[in-house]
Amino acid sequence: MTSSTDLPSRTTFQLRELIARGFQFLHPRDARGELAAVVGVRAHDAVIDVVRLHTEDDVVAMRMPADEVNVLSPSRFSWRRRGPATHVLEELLDLPDDDDRTA
pLDDT tens digit sequence for 68-90: 999 888 999 999 999 999 999 99
- Cβ atoms within 10 Å, residue 27: 9
In the chain, the DSSP E strands lie at 24-26, 38-44, 47-55, 58-65, 79-83
User: What is the model's pLDDT at position 48?
Assistant: 96
Name the residue with higher pLDDT: 65 or 2.
Answer: 65
Measured distance CA(10)–CA(28) in Å, rounded:
23
Instruction: Look at phi and psi of residue 67 and say left if phi exceeds 0, alpha if psi is from -120 to 50, else beta.
Output: alpha
> Is the confidence at residue 6, as pLDDT, over 80?
no
User: What is the model's pLDDT at position 103?
Assistant: 45
pLDDT tens digit sequence for 21-72: 999 999 999 999 999 999 999 999 899 999 999 999 999 999 999 999 998 8
The letter for the amino acid at 48 is I
pTM over 0.75: yes
